Structure 1
Amino acid sequence: MTQPWWFVLLLCWWPVHNLVLAAFAWRAPRPAPERSPSLLRFWIVIPALNEERVIANTVRNALRLGSAETPVRVLVIDDGSDDATPEIVAGIADDRLHVLRRDLPNARQGKGEALNAGYRYIDAIAAREGTVSQTVVGIIDGDGRGSAGLLTEVAAMLRSRGVGAVQCRVRIHNRHRLLALLQDLEFGAIADASQSLRDVLGSVGMGGNGQFTRLSVLRKFGPSPWSDCLVEDLELGLRLHLAGVRIRYTQRAWVTQQGLEDTRRLLRQRTRWAQGNLQCSRHLRSLATSRFIAGTGLFDFLVYLVVPWLTVPLSLIAVALLVIVPVAVLTGNSFGGLVAETGNLSQAVVWWLAALLLPGIMWAIVYFVRLRDEPLHRALLAGLCYPAFLLLGVLATWRAVFRIVLKRNVWAKTERLAELPA
């Protein structure tokens, strides 16, 4: 039986979309030739709220990233920690390490407010030293680890004309369990390919880990560059694009972070991210009318801000189809060609399973070939489980919509896993 055209389009869209996206996983653009010989001075900001399990490794790694060509200072923003975080940081003897302690009632008002306080601290020092134009502010979370040569790569990109910010690749370092491995597949392969495509389109998004921005660019937004949005990093990226600031993405420098190893905490994290993405839709009109954004870049912005809102109705359609199929099998009603006749049912099931599973297998192969730090059988296992991982994202979006309707915007911090000293 011939299927309707829209049915064939629906069946093909998902694998074709992933195939096109995967092509950009192989793109590794070099920075443009250096246009300015000026030395860039880096501040790495580490927002910390009860990070006693991970903060020592993170601070020591950040201090090691500096060199004569890329001098670095590290600012730990202790956002009202009541565990051993202050004592651990105080025990690290290095004159490049600065600590900004925020106590209640100013503390614990969200990561954005903590970053704004850190920005004002750095801006005052740079203004006093006369180094505002050379200063770069980078964000690494409390569980983050930068790769060797990270600052050299970022500096090369920032010396290109018109570039005001750089986003680095993100990986997961505790990927020994399947759930964390799935997150590394997501960040290290799929999100990496998406950002590489956006680097071409001019619509690179900012992430919470591994973002670097010129201090002179942050100054465009007054004393508070970061907002109270639940994904303050994504919103900062949107504000940079609206201001005409070019953001680049690099695969050659990366920051690793802890993956979540239980489903409950992962669902809570993804619900927060989904809620933040939904909040960012308030910029749709500004993006659509911006003189700095046009063409395919504008289309990409519209897609990743609108699609989260479509997740709920599309998932309802999917549930309806799951109900219709058994009804069709029992009654023989094809519902206008939507469901294959009984004789073609096995063939239809094969096509649907192929459309569902092949993208994950394709990403597993990309992940294995490009990164070469996990065996093929683990990569394939993650690829086969990828559709279930996406289902978790759908559930998170449902929860995010309910939270927006109920005007709930308060979140408990995700607890870290203990780490051995690095």
Structure 2
Amino acid sequence: MNIFDFLLLYSLAVIWITILLNVVLVIGGYIYYIKTLRIKMKNNLEEYPFISIMVPAHNEATVIKKCVKSLLNLDYPNDKYEIIIINDNSTDNSLEILSKLQIENKDRNLIIINTDNIIGGKGKSNALNIGFKKSKGEFLVIYDADNTPEKESLVYLIQTILKDKKLGAVIGKFRCRNKENNLLTKFINIETLTFQWMAQAGRWQLLKVCTIPGTNFVIRRNLIKKMGGWDSKALTEDTEISFRLYRMGYKIKFMPLAVTWEQEPQTLKVWFRQRERWAKGNIYVMFKNFKYLFSKQGGASRFDILYYILTYGFFLSASVFSDILFILGLAEVIKLDIGGYSLILWITAYVVFCLSIFVTISTENGELNLKNFLTVLLMYFSYCKLWSIVVTLSLYNFVKDMIFKREIKWYKTERF
């Protein structure tokens, strides 16, 4: 055996560990999915706490009207919630659209906060901190500007968090509403079902941990106050605040019956920039919290720290090594003594990967079809490889930002 064989063994071992971990999460998620089918949620609550819904919006004219209308139409008493739109230094006609909506709904608690390039335009965390200062709700609910939550979603989130004082936050499920647009949105739809909500369900079922997504969640106001607000340096403010909640001793629960529909990137350029921001943000959170890995203070967040180390360290390197070795071996530049055995292990891993996704999409009405079957078969060779490229570049840029102490810039996803 030579050094290339050892690198190949390392790559296969890490890839297999990651795939098996995700298979375990899918199994746990499926169990939780079966449990949710038996849950009987109430449409009417015994008490309706006052809620502040906050929507950070920068140049969201394309989608903001639909979002606000869906929020106004939620199954929750009108006098028991306020909607705060932070129109964050927008240069499009968002102000015009929002002003018109405010006039049309003058009997509702619709608050528009307009910022300039001095106090605003500094990213989502900053916008949320601005909105928080104006909010009055006992609970805060966050939605992105492209979201259209289902009518009962707010009731389900509130109902869940009221049942347990140890819940610092409750997250809902988000679905892709433009999934049929092209192959990219089909990939994202399957990724969302498998690696977002099914993984969240599995983590809650098996470990009682979840990570807050950027949208469709409720969090206790007093906890945000204790934390001092959102971390303005975090590109993934949702992940960062999840870690702090766990260190405070609170839990984050997943309630998949609370559904919102959102728009996903429709071009590779937009997708690439969005995922680069996500990756850089998660790497930032990983480094920020690494010191808690071996400390009791880390609480349940230690699992996520390990998971991020596995994903952005070991799995990324394993993916890159395996692809490079495959290409060099195919070109006969290097000789692999265990090439035949590795091919068997790789094919088996690919089959397991596909089967776990098929199990996941079978839980959603209409998703287990021929189109998605073929999309999943193609996904490993295309979409997953793009992920490796994105994360590699994100890690490279993160290190450069640290060395040269460059200001972190927040990229807002372009809407269609």
TM-score (norm 2): 0.85
Q: Quick check: 1:140–1:210 contact (8 Å CA) kept in 2?
A: yes
Change in 2 beyond 3 A, CA 1:218/1:287: farther
- Return the alpha-carbon distance in structure 1 between the equivalents of residues 327 and 374 of structure 2: 29
Q: Which of 246, 254, 258 is equivalent to 2:251?
A: 246
Write the mapping of 1:98-177 to structure 2, written as runs, cut at 5 A: 98-122=111-135, 126=136, 135-159=138-162, 160-176=164-180, 177=182
Query: Which of 367, 375, 382 matches 1:382?
Result: 375
Residues 236, 300 of structure 1: alpha-carbon distance in 2 compared, 3 angstrom cutoff: closer
Q: Alignment partner for residue 366 of structure 2, among 353, 358, 373? A: 373
Which one is further off, 183-192 or 44-53? 183-192
- Cα distance between partner residues in 1 of 2:141 and 2:220: 9
**For 2:175 and 2:225, how far apart are their aligned partners in 1?**
30
Identity %: 22
CA distance in 2, matches of 1:280, 1:402: 16
Q: Comparing 66-75 with 20-29, which one deviates more in the overlay? A: 66-75
C-alpha deviation, 1:9, in angstroms: 4.7
Show the counterpart of 1:325: 329
1:108 Cα shift? 0.5
Matching residue of 2:60: 51
Q: 1:175 to 1:70 in 2, by over 3 A?
A: farther
Q: Is the 8 A contact 1:65 1:72 kept in 2?
A: no
Write the distance in 2 (CA, Å) between the matches of 1:15 and 1:236: 27
Q: Which amino acid aligns with 1:78?
A: N
Residue type at the aligned position of 2:128:
L
For the residues of structure 1 that align with 2:411 and 2:307, how far apart are their CA atoms? 29
Give the match for residue 346 of structure 2: 352
CA RMSD between the two structures: 2.9
Residues 212-361 of structure 1: matches in 2 within 5 Å? 212-222=218-228, 224-281=229-286, 282-291=288-297, 293=299, 298-326=302-330, 334-335=336-337, 338-340=338-340, 349=343, 351-361=345-355
Q: Name the amino acid aligned to 1:272.
A: R
> How far off is 1:11 after superposition?
7.0
The change in CA–CA distance for 1:288 and 1:362 in structure 2 (over 3 A counts) is: same
Residue 184 (structure 1) aligns with: 189
Say whether residues 1:396 and 2:400 are aligned partners: no
Residue of structure 2 in register with 1:420 after alignment: none
Larger CA Rg, structure 1 vs 2:
1
Name the CA distance, whole Å, in 2 between partners of 1:33 and 1:192.
Answer: 19
User: Paired residue for 1:85?
Assistant: 94
Whether contact under 8 Å (2:230, 2:237) holds in the other structure is no
Q: What code does the residue aligned with 1:175 have?
A: K
Q: Distance in 1 between matches of 2:67 and 2:258?
A: 16
What is the TM-score of this pair, normalised by structure 1?
0.84
- Check conservation: 1:47, 1:77, Cα contact below 8 A: yes
CA distance in 1, matches of 2:203, 2:328: 38
Give me the whole-angstrom Cα distance separating, in 2, the residues matched to 1:155 and 1:88.
29
Q: Distance in 1 between matches of 2:53 and 2:147?
A: 11
Deviating above 6 A after TM superposition, structure 1's stretches of 4 or more consecutive aligned residues are 31-34
Partner of 2:109: 96
The aligned length equals: 390
Superposed displacement of residue 354, structure 1: 3.9
Distance 1:190 1:315, change over 3 A: closer
Report the Cα distance in structure 2 between the residues aligned to 1:203 and 1:301, rounded to whole angstroms: 12
Report the residue type matching 2:383 in the other structure.
F
Residue of structure 2 equivalent to 1:363: 357
Secondary structure, in 3 states, of the residue corresponding to 2:232? coil
Compute the displacement of 1:73 (Å): 1.6
Offset of 1:327 from its aligned partner?
6.3
Aligned residue identity for 1:399: L
Letter of the structure 2 residue corresponding to residue 339 of structure 1: G
Structure having greater relative contact order (Cα 8 Å, sep ≥ 6): 2
**Aligned-partner residue type, residue 100 of structure 1:** I
Alpha-carbon offset, residue 96 of structure 1: 1.8
- Give the SS at the match of 1:168: strand
Distance 2:59 2:80 in 1: 28
SS in 1 for 2:353: helix
Structure 1 residue 137 displacement after superposition = 0.7
Question: Following the alignment from structure 1 to structure 2, what is the Cα–Cα distance between the partners of residues 216 and 305?
Answer: 31
User: Which amino acid is 2:159 matched to?
Assistant: A
Aligned partners of 2:292 and 2:302 also within 8 Å = no
Structure 1: unaligned runs, 5 residues or longer: 127-131, 418-422
